[in-house]
Amino acid sequence: MNRTAEITRSTKETNITIKLNLDGSGEAALDYPIGFMKHMLNTFAKHGLFDLDIQASGDLEVDQHHLVEDTGIVLGQCFAKALGDKRGIVRSGSCLYPMDETLARAALDISGRAFLVFEAQLSGVPLTADGIPGGSFQTDTVEDFWQGFVSAAALTLHLDILRGRSDHHKIEALFKAAARALRQACEIDGRAADIIPSTKGVLV
């Protein structure tokens, strides 16, 4: 089974191409101009065992919102395309992920219904890395990324921070938890490999 996808989104604000292999080994080739977001996408690939190739640019002279949100949209479109009719998948997944003082929870259902609950308890203060191009990160764009992803992938996703202090840790733990929950949900169920996991017979 070849569960791969390649999608390009080109607008007046962003230009993004993503290649995804659901059954990869966690390899990531990322040409991405926002340092912290590049780190999150690499983390997502590693913990989900998804192979990702991303080429992205955007109007960062405006702010980071367009590029981060559109990245979520294209990544979600890749998941939807790679999953096809979703035959044989486990469908749901969850992960409770600790990262030092932070505890993150992700729960999702590849249901065909887009819905996001995002309770990250972020401060809203940008993360900064002085002197590094693309080093500053607008933390409020994280929710935009996941909203774009959920809408394009057509799945239900609950992301919660149960406790934590560092915004860096909170965001990273959520990406790790989401990746592991997605990995679980996208796996082929050995007992139902030829079955669409829905009483309706479709997942759209």
Residues linked to residue 124 through DSSP beta bridges, in sequence order = none
What's this model's pTM, rounded to 2 decimal places? Answer: 0.95
Rounded to the nearest integer, the mean pLDDT of the chain is: 94
In degrees and rounded to multiples of 5, residue 159 shows phi and psi of: -120, 125
pLDDT of residue 39: 96
| Other CB atoms within 10 A of residue 80 CB | 18
Tally of CB atoms within 10 A around 150: 23
CA-CA distance, 165 to 187, in Å (whole number)? 33
> What pLDDT score was predicted for residue 132?
60
* pLDDT band (50, 70, 90) for residue 130: low
pLDDT of residue 199: 73
- Are 34 and 110 spatial neighbours (Cβ–Cβ below 8 Å)? no
Out of 117-121, 153-157, 199-203, least confident range: 199-203
152 versus 129: the higher-pLDDT residue is 152
**What pLDDT is stored for residue 16 in this prediction?**
98
Indicate the pLDDT class of residue 102, thresholds 50, 70 and 90.
very high
**How does pLDDT run across 13-26, given as a tens digit for each residue?**
999 999 999 999 99
pLDDT tens digits along 60-81: 999 999 999 999 999 999 999 9
* Lookup: tokens for 184: 């679980």
Average pLDDT estimate for 173-177: 98
For residue 201, pLDDT over 90 is answered with no
pLDDT band at 195 (very low <50, low <70, confident <90, very high): confident
Report pLDDT for 196.
Answer: 81
Task: Annotate the chain with DSSP letters as a single string.
Answer: ---EEEEEEE-SSEEEEEEEETTS-S-EEEE-S-HHHHHHHHHHHHHHT-EEEEEEEE-TTT-SHHHHHHHHHHHHHHHHHHHTT-TTB--EEEEEEEETTEEEEEEEE--S--EEEEE-----PPB--TTSTT--B-TTHHHHHHHHHHHHHT-EEEEEEEE-S-HHHHHHHHHHHHHHHHHHHHSB-TTSTTS-SSTTS---
Residue 163 tokens, joined: 């406790």
Overall average pLDDT of the 42-71 stretch: 97
CB 106 within 8 A of CB 174: yes
Residue 131: predicted pLDDT: 58
